[in-house]
A and B are shown apart, each in its own frame.
Chain A
Amino acid sequence: MSGNTGSYISSCVFVLIAHIGMLLNVFFNGNYDSLTQVIILSGAVVILDVAYFIAMLFFRQTTFTVDFLLILVLNMSVIFQSCFGEVVFDYKHYITCIISLVTCRCGYLLCRNHKWLREQRKFFYIGIFILMVVILTLTGSRGMWISLGPITIQPSEFIKPLFILACATSITEQQKKHKILCFNVVYENIALFGLTAAICLLQWWCRDLGSLPTFVAIYAAGFLLRICYPKAKFSKKKLVGAGAVLAAVAVAGMKFAPAYVQDRLHVDIWADKDGNGYQQSQALIAIANGGWFGKGPGQGDLHNVFAHKNDIVFASISEEWGLLYALMMVLAILIIIALPLINPPRSYFHGTMSAGISAAFTVQMALNIFGSCNLIPFTGVTIPFISTGGSSLMISGFMAGMLVACQSPTMRSPHLNEQIPKRQLYPRRRKA
């Protein structure tokens, strides 16, 4: 760690205080049979906190705020997940949270040098291709899960960070233009477009429509940053046109969507509250029941509803902890996303990467929260860091690590002995 001992210590202390405040709430208001579960939970949370604080000392980073927010949110989610219905320590979620912290470190180490990363581009494409083949062949009939004994893996989650990396670009790369017919194009932009189309088709095929908007949002952010800079030939008119085309495609997609999607789009949850609208109507009733301050940890009723730990987790938290607390949890995640605004990335590659990550996180949160509250059609997307689910937590951790990397980059050339020519003259012009 480098410098800023004061802010490091105060951050540690206040993260601990926030967790202890929650644990006190569990202790006094919680619904538990034996005190041991509360003690186990408190011990686990505090130990993980302290362990991560110490582990962070071994990393030389410019900023640690993302890490502190990550441990804050992850341990919050451990406490949330352990309290639904009754206070029972959720081992499985705790372990996935630890894995998530480890992948965060991996993400940081892998992504901190953007120059090195830029040269690995072909591996991103290969990785995405392999994952797509895996989805096509290994997942059950048109599903999105691979089951390996007790563990199920959602391979489409793993595409997300690779896709973000594939979308990221540097200004220099955008200069390498080639002329096709009368258009100056960058080959990679075309390749990326093809990749996006392939991913979208695959998502459509395997009925994972929940993550489709995430990919579209990542691509939209990447596309804007690729096209508009530096040769700003893309006028506002063309942008509006592109938006209109996108909207038309979306409308057409909704019109010709398969029947089960149509059902979701048009269901009136209150007319069908025992059928298709069951989860959402129960979620909304739970939020209404919780009010601003909630019923108390473990006192809710939503744990009887399917997917209360991931798809409608916002409602579960609202019911037990109150809407106010749930909103603040969302705020904490938003601060993670907003940190690149405070600590700006120092290269365009990292900048585009941060934009892609923030697109992925906000769209996922929006789909989950607004979907479960009936503002938009309900899809089975997870809230990053809060919902259970191994793949999603791992990947969210990895993407958080990428954010750390964007803010604490190493600006070293990957090739130590590379010779930059001291001076290169213009090639001699031939006279005709």
Chain B
Amino acid sequence: MDSTNLILCAVAAACLDICAMVLIISAYHERKTGGKRWNRITSFMELADYNTVYPLGCDEILIGRHASADIRLADLSVSRYHAILTVSDGIWTITDMGSTSGIFVNGIPVSQAQLRENDIIKLGNRQLIFRRRRDINVR
């Protein structure tokens, strides 16, 4: 094994390494575009408490008291798995999952309802507002 061989091997290996690194970096870049695209799909919506903001990061979101729920409301009046939020064609829908206290959207008890901007959702004693995201520029 002579030195030219070694150098060439090292060069080829380095090229591959750099390429892998560049691809990882571009994956992180694309993560941003992916996020923006997701925001468009979800109509830039979020759920908010009086002091907490819950981002809506995937197309099925569980709301409940249980630790594995995506949006965890630590309140005994909320069922462990209270409701599920789903999105389709930019429209969010809330569905009851057999909760004990039910769901009230703008004061009306519903088992399933399409959500519009600034709807107030009441789960047990907790109230959430379904609103447009505030941290981004909405055109």
Direct contact of A and B (CB under 8 A): yes
The interface of chain A, by Cβ under 8 A from chain B, is 2-4, 6-8, 10-11, 14-15, 17-18, 20-22, 24-25, 28-29, 62-65, 68-69, 72, 76, 115, 170-172, 175, 228-232, 291, 293-296, 321-322, 324-325, 328-329, 331-332, 335, 339, 342-348, 351, 407-408, 411-413, 420-427
A115 to B6, CA, bound (A): 52
Task: Name B16's contact: one of A62, A332, A422 (CB within 8 Å).
Answer: A332
B4 CB → nearest A CB, Å: 7
B40 CB → nearest A CB, Å: 10
Closest 4 CB pairs between A and B?
A: A21-B15, A7-B26, A18-B19, A63-B30
A24 to B69, CA, bound (A): 54
Count how many chain B residues have C-beta atoms less than 8 Å from C-beta atoms of the other chain.
60
Interface contacts (Cβ under 8 Å), in number, total: 193
Task: Name A347's contact: one of B58, B89, B105 (CB within 8 Å).
Answer: B58
B13 cross-chain contacts in A, Cβ below 8 A: 322, 324-325, 328
Is B109 located at the chain interface by the 8 A CB criterion?
yes
A425 to B57, CA, bound (A): 27
With A7-B29, A10-B26 given, is the CB distance from A422 to B114 under 8 Å? Answer: yes
A346 to B86, CA, bound (A): 12
With A293-B1, A348-B58 given, is the CB distance from A425 to B110 under 8 Å? Answer: yes
A20 cross-chain contacts in B, Cβ below 8 A: 15
A342 cross-chain contacts in B, Cβ below 8 A: 24, 27-28, 31
Contact A25 B60 (CB under 8 A): no
A17 cross-chain contacts in B, Cβ below 8 A: 15, 18-19
Contact B62 A171 (CB under 8 A): yes
With A29-B8, A348-B60 given, is the CB distance from A10 to B22 under 8 Å? Answer: yes
Contact A335 B20 (CB under 8 A): yes
A17 to B69, CA, bound (A): 46
